[in-house]
Amino acid sequence: MAARLHPPYPPKQEIVDLRRLDPRDLADLLQEEVVAWRRELDWDFEQSADLVRRFVQLRALNGSALLENGAVTGYVYYVLEENKALIGDLYVRREFRSAAREEWLLETALEPVMASENVRRVECQLMMLSQDHKEPLARRKYLRAFERNFMRVNLKSSPLAEGRIRHPVFLERWSDHYQDAAARLIAGAYHAHIDSQINDQYRSVPGARRFLYNIVQYPGCGTFYRPASFAAFDVKSGQLCGVSLSSLVAAEAGHITQICVSDEVRGSGVGYELLRRSLTCLRDAQCRTASLTVTAANTGAVQLYERVGFETLRRFSAYVWEGF
């Protein structure tokens, strides 16, 4: 009889509901994920991991984990927001990472939400997904994919040279009083924009208000950093015509969570100046780098960022499903 080259049995794999797990079951996976975000994206994922631990403890997180021989090797969770499901995270441990495992996990999240009468839309942007999805993602025929860039600039070497603004505006540091005007600005600036296909909060003023509330309150996009967030006002009308909002994603790393300029003022150097001010303040706050994400097809914005010195570090996909 030939010598046995493989273990006698294949590893036992099972999918379990996250509500059946204890935060300790996810400890190693989350620890590895925190290290990966730090190493690969200069991003402190600890606060997000903490939220996951807290909600798992409360048995209140929707999602599932992949168990192999009794240990968690991957997990996915999603949150429901009115008629929308957001896939919050999907992570498979490096040693076990494969497109098949990721698709399996994604499928376990998509299946119940797509079957639910209340869910009309699913959105997901998963930066830690492996890059080698040769096989179609689960249910890809229902999912629309949008290529996104994760871009980063070295603040120590970027000149951040002053530009020339060709429209009379004045810039103010961000105040939460601007939130309503900013919601109107965002809904207008993203009208018929590719990003409002990816994030439906951009499509209406109440949606944009929720978007702003989330980036100020929750750690998903880092900790909102007011000193490096700016608003531009049209001198003639006094109306808000641009914003650049920042967060800290690690002690020495900033992030631009939102930048937009109204249609009327666009193309006159205001976007550049807002960005430059935010980046200068992040640098003054001892940030070594700043990052942002942008849809690859948004070439105008990509050009602006490249001009400032941003480089694309990673490409990832945003997936959207819309029901009837």
Ligand X SMILES: CC(C)(COP(=O)(O)OP(=O)(O)OC[C@H]1O[C@@H](n2cnc3c(N)ncnc32)[C@H](O)[C@@H]1OP(=O)(O)O)[C@@H](O)C(=O)NCCC(=O)NCCS
Positions touching ligand X (CB under 6 A) are 189-190, 193, 259-261, 266-272, 294, 298, 300-301, 303-304, 307
Q: Which is nearer to ligand X, 126 or 241 (CB)?
A: 241
Six token digits for residue 180: 């309503």
CB of 293 to ligand X, least distance (A): 7
CB of 146 to ligand X, least distance (A): 12
Residue with the CB atom nearest ligand X in the bound state? 271
CB of 53 to ligand X, least distance (A): 31
Q: Which is nearer to ligand X, 64 or 262 (CB)?
A: 262
Q: Which is nearer to ligand X, 219 or 271 (CB)?
A: 271
State which H helix or E strand residue 14 sits in: strand 13-17
Residues 6+ apart with CB under 8 A from 186: 202, 208, 211, 212, 243, 258, 260
CB of 305 to ligand X, least distance (A): 8
Question: How does strand 121-125 pair with strand 84-92?
Answer: parallel
Find out whether 142 and 321 touch, Cβ atoms under 8 Å. Answer: yes
CB of 277 to ligand X, least distance (A): 12
- Reading phi first (left if > 0) and then psi (alpha if -120 to 50, else beta), residue 69 is in left
Q: Which is nearer to ligand X, 53 or 158 (CB)?
A: 158
Cα separation values, 238 from 90, 97, 235, 268, Å: 44, 53, 5, 17
Q: Which is nearer to ligand X, 121 or 193 (CB)?
A: 193
Residues counted in the chain: 324
Find out whether 18 and 75 touch, Cβ atoms under 8 Å. Answer: yes
